[in-house]
């Protein structure tokens, strides 16, 4: 459904382009304000990220934060220490200093004349991460949060590592962030000191890629900022949101199952974007849902926001696999709690080339099946984290499956829906000290097309846990558990469920340092599928809305004797997407000699 630009909101909005928040150590953080024009104190909403409010996220901030201000909220968009026009340096992600500053910022906001003392915090990606991290700190004025595209575990579910395996996204993300932070400070905001600030920032910019790659297990580095370490520290209401085309949906389910506070979740079809801009479509009326959330928890409005399902999930239907997927076919389902009584785990067994249910499995004697995948397996996988642009969703998986070990179930005699986290387990040995095991769940249509539904990967040296590394000994059996990503999918009658296994997945994951062969004992192999039996629901508000631009015009005129001087400042606000379009491009080249895993670049 096309996004509606709302030109008339309950409150008129005034915009203050820049205000400096001075912290206790004299560091100044730059922020932009959207305020209801009537000057009545209202609850405030904070977004606190390093992505440059002046020229980085302006096109996104303007329609979203203007919308919240138009509904009676003071909105504060802060550039973190060392970013944008803020003072200081940013040495890494999610540091203690970042959280300390946020606690001070929330205290500052609560004391302003335009704030009634209640503050909410929200964000996507980095802002989703730190909303949770700051909630753990429990600043008194922080009453509720909304987190989008986030993680609760920085090692198992972030852009650096998954299952103990190094993501190639670690490298492009580090490079992009380095370039992003290297841009100069705006002299219109900071004046003549812009160049000195810029050069000092360049001198103090770290190369974080190496740090992220060096921490190869779940150590104290990753535990810091991982709210899974103590879910109970979060004692305010949480709305958690993400989409299947993104890489962070696991965290939504983790939060809902572990938090004890009031909570709601939405998982749609979208990539790593705010849901009002959701691609693949359908988008959702996220801003309306957010206003309802804020009204209840920040203003005390009784509006039944907590009625209905705890989590609403987009159940994807079978679609022709394509790297271009602007629309997702499917329907919404609702669950009263997570884990849900509507989801039942069914255990399947693997036989030679087949997936069978336990009742029909044939007793097998231990017999090794050798897995030695070509190093270029995985070229059709698409992007680990979707950004909502063409070319990033997985293609037909037939070619990759031709290099993998494949197991197919019988043709389905009726529709089957799954919702949750598939799990694959097997005992194996390896002829080298280091190896990975990749597992992929797919939907095979009658014409042979293969659509990826979910995948997971495990560094076999971390089979006993992600806090230690145990190198493999030839001939010594290891039980490996591969957690596939959460998913929701309807398999159509006549289709087949497929599990494919590989010991490489390039270029999504960095390959093992030596070519290796895994020996799998199929008599120990199980695939657990979370089957869902429940009705469809209407789902969240289907009509995405956004605010119209908030232009401003000011005139400063000198009244002194002599020549008159007039300064006219005109700011047009955010141009409608009907008028302009932004094109994003990223070129990524991965190379490797097939017999030389050390040759990867």
Residue-wise pLDDT for 330-353, tens only, equals 999 999 999 999 999 999 999 989
Greater model confidence, 584 or 541: 541
Which pLDDT band holds residue 594 (cuts at 50, 70, 90)?
A: confident
Write the pLDDT tens digit of every residue in 448-463: 999 999 999 999 999 9
Distance CA 285, CA 276 (A): 6
Q: Over 70: is that where the pLDDT of 358 sits? A: yes
- Assign 596 a pLDDT band (cuts: 50, 70, 90): confident
Separation CA 121–CA 12 (nearest Å): 22
Out of 335, 356, 379, a domain closes at 335
Q: Which domain holds residue 262?
A: 9-151+230-335
* CB-based burial label for 196 (10 Å; 0-12, 13-18, 19+): exposed
Q: For all residues of the chain together, what is the average pLDDT? A: 93
The rounded distance, in Å, linking the Cα atoms of 552 and 571 is: 5
pLDDT (0 to 100) of residue 583? 38
Question: Does position 568 have pLDDT exceeding 60, yes or no?
Answer: no
**Unique residue bearing structure tokens 């895994």:** 518
Q: Computed over its alpha carbons, how large is the radius of gyration of the chain?
A: 26
Evaluate if residue 559 carries a pLDDT over 80. Answer: no
491 part of a folded domain: yes
Whether 256 and 400 map to the same domain: the answer is no
Over the stretch 243-260, which tens digit does the pLDDT of each residue have? 999 999 999 999 999 999
pLDDT score of 365: 74
Considering the domain architecture, whether residues 402 and 528 belong to the same structural domain is answered as yes
pLDDT of residue 548: 87
Token readout for 328 is 């997702």
pLDDT number for residue 1: 75
Given 335, 359, 376, the domain boundary residue is: 335
Span 401-410, average pLDDT: 98
Of the listed ranges 23-37, 114-128, 475-489, 536-550, the one predicted with least confidence: 536-550
* Residues 6 or more apart in contact with residue 589 via CB below 8 angstroms: none
Question: Is residue 252 assigned to a domain?
Answer: yes
- Tell me which of 242-251, 465-474, 520-529, 570-579 is least confident: 570-579
Q: Which DSSP symbol is given to 52?
A: -
Give the integer Cα–Cα distance in Å for 27 and 44.
22
331 with 349, same domain: the answer is no
For the residues 15-27, what does the mean pLDDT come to?
A: 98
Tokens of 115: 């704030």
Residue 378 pLDDT grade (very low, low, confident, very high; cuts 50, 70, 90): very high
Q: Which of 283-297, 347-361, 547-561 has the highest mean pLDDT?
A: 283-297
Do 386 and 303 share a structural domain?
Answer: no
- Residue 221 within a domain: no
- The encoded tokens of residue 572 equal 């047009």
In angstroms, rounded to a whole number, what is the distance separating the alpha carbons of residues 95 and 90? Answer: 9
Give 350's strand partners: 355
The predicted-structure confidence for 174-219, as pLDDT tens digits, reads as follows 999 999 899 999 999 999 999 999 999 999 998 899 999 999 999 9
- The pLDDT score that the predictor gives to residue 589 is 67
CA dihedral angle for residue 245, residue 453, residue 283, residue 325, rounded to 10 degrees? 80
Kindly list the distances between the CA atom of residue 472 and the CA atoms of 364, 432, 433, 483, in Å, as whole numbers in the listed order.
26, 7, 4, 20
Cis (ω within 30 of 0) for the bond into 230? no
Q: Is residue 484 a part of any domain in this protein? A: yes
E strands present in 37-98: 42-49, 74-79
Neighbours of 268 (CB within 10 A): 28
- Asked if 458 and 389 sit in the same domain, the reply is yes
Domain annotation covers residue 189: no
Model pLDDT, residue 367: 77
Domain end residue (candidates: 335, 352, 375): 335
**For the chain, how many structural domains are there in total?**
2
Q: Do 118 and 44 meet the contact criterion of CB atoms below 8 Å apart?
A: yes
Mean pLDDT confidence for 281-294 = 98
Residue 556 has pLDDT above 70, yes or no: no
Q: 62-72, pLDDT tens digit by residue?
A: 999 999 999 99
> Is residue 542 assigned to a domain?
no
In a shared domain, residues 299 and 358: no
Helix (H) or strand (E) segment spanning residue 166: strand 165-166
Closest CA to 424 of 495, 350, 358, 478: 350
Q: Is the pLDDT of residue 54 over 80?
A: yes
**Are residues 458 and 589 both part of a single domain?**
yes
Write the Ramachandran bin of 249: left for phi over 0, alpha for psi from -120 to 50, otherwise beta. Answer: alpha
Phi then psi for residue 275, to 5 deg, are -65, -20
CB count within 10 Å of CB 155 equals: 23
Do 275 and 137 belong together in one domain?
A: yes
CA 482 vs CA 135, 164, 165, 257: distances in Å: 31, 11, 12, 20
Q: Is the same domain home to 440 and 291?
A: no
Segments of 460-551 assigned E as strands = 478-483, 487-491, 496-502, 518-532, 536-537, 545-547
Statement: residue 55 has pLDDT above 60: yes
Residue 563 pLDDT: 45
CA 405 – CA 576 distance, rounded (Å): 50
Examine the pLDDT at 236 and tell me if it is beyond 60: yes
- Is the pLDDT score of 550 beyond 70? no
pLDDT of residue 360: 67
Q: Are residues 130 and 245 in the same domain?
A: yes
Q: What percent of the chain has pLDDT over 90?
A: 87
Same domain, 382 and 323: no
405 domain residue, yes or no: yes
The CATH number given to whatever domain includes residue 359 is 2.60.120.260
**Dist. CA 522–CA 296, nearest whole Å:** 53
**Neighbouring residues of 559: CB distance < 8 A, sequence distance ≥ 6:** none
Mean pLDDT of all residues in 388-397: 94
Q: Are residues 329 and 350 in the same domain?
A: no
**Please, are residues 355 and 363 in contact by the beta-carbon 8 Å criterion?**
no
| More confident call, 601 vs 241 | 241
Q: Does residue 182 lie within any of the structural domains?
A: no
What percent of the chain lies above the pLDDT cut of 70?
93
| pLDDT band of 361, cuts 50, 70, 90 | low
pLDDT above 80 for 389: yes
Total count of residues recorded for the chain: 601
CATH of the domain at 254: 3.40.50.1820
Reported as a pLDDT band with limits 50, 70 and 90, residue 552 is: low
Neighbours of 184 (CB within 10 A): 12
The pairing of beta strand 536-537 with beta strand 552-557: unpaired
Task: State residue 551's pLDDT score.
Answer: 60
């Amino acid at each position: 459904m096309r996004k509606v630009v709302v030109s008339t909101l309950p409150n008129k909005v005034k915009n203050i382009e820049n205000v400096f928040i001075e912290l206790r150590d004299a560091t100044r953080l730059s922020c932009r304000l959207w305020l209801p024009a009537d000057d009545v104190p209202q609850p405030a909403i904070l977004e606190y990220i390093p992505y440059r409010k002046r020229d980085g996220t302006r096109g996104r901030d303007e329609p979203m934060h203007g919308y919240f201000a138009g509904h009676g909220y003071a909105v504060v968009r802060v550039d973190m220490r060392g970013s944008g026009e803020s003072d200081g340096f940013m040495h890494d992600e999610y540091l203690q200093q970042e959280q300390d500053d946020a606690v001070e910022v929330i205290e500052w906001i609560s004391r302003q004349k335009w704030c009634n003392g209640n503050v909410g915090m929200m964000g996507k990606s980095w802002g989703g991460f730190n909303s949770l991290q700051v909630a753990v700190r429990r600043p008194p004025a922080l009453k509720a949060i909304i987190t989008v595209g986030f993680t609760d575990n920085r090692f198992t579910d972030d852009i650096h590592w998954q299952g103990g395996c190094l993501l190639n996204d670690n490298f492009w993300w580090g490079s992009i962030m380095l370039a992003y932070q290297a841009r100069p400070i705006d002299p219109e905001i900071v004046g003549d000191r812009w160049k000195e600030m810029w050069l000092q920032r360049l001198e103090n910019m770290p190369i974080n890629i190496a740090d992220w790659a060096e921490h190869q297990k779940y150590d104290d580095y990753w535990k810091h900022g991982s709210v899974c370490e103590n879910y109970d520290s979060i004692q305010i209401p949480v709305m958690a949101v993400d989409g299947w085309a993104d890489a962070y949906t696991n965290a939504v389910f983790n939060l809902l199952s572990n938090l004890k506070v009031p909570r709601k979740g939405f998982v749609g079809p979208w990539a790593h974007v705010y849901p009002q801009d959701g691609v693949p479509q359908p988008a959702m009326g996220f801003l309306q849902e957010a206003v309802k959330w804020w009204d209840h928890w920040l203003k005390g409005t009784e509006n039944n926001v907590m009625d209905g399902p705890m989590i609403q999930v987009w159940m994807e239907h079978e679609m022709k696999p394509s790297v271009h997927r602007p629309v997702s076919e499917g329907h919404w389902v609702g669950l009263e709690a997570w884990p849900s009584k509507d989801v039942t785990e069914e255990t399947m067994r693997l036989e030679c080339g087949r997936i069978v249910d336990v009742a029909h499995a044939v007793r097998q004697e231990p017999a090794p099946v050798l897995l030695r995948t070509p190093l270029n397996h995985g070229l059709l996988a698409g992007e680990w984290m979707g950004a909502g642009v063409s070319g990033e969703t997985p293609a037909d998986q037939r070619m990759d499956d031709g290099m993998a070990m494949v197991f197919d179930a019988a043709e389905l005699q009726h529709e089957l829906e799954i919702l949750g986290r598939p799990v694959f387990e097997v005992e194996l040995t390896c002829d080298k000290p280091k190896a990975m095991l990749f597992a992929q769940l797919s939907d095979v249509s009658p014409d042979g097309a293969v659509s990826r539904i979910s995948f997971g990967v495990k560094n076999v040296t971390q089979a006993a846990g992600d806090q230690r590394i145990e190198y493999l000994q030839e001939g010594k059996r290891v039980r490996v558990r591969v957690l596939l990503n959460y998913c929701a999918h309807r398999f159509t009658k006549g289709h087949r469920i497929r599990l494919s296994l590989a010991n490489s997945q390039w270029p999504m994951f960095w390959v093992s340092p030596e070519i290796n062969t895994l020996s799998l004992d199929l008599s120990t192999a199980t695939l657990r599928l979370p089957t869902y039996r429940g009705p469809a629901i209407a789902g969240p508000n289907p009509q995405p809305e956004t605010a119209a631009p908030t232009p401003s015009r000011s005139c400063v005129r000198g009244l002194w004797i002599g020549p008159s001087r007039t300064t006219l400042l005109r700011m047009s606000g955010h141009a409608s997407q009907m008028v302009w379009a932004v094109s994003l491009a990223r070129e990524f080249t991965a190379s490797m000699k097939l017999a030389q895993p050390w040759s990867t670049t």
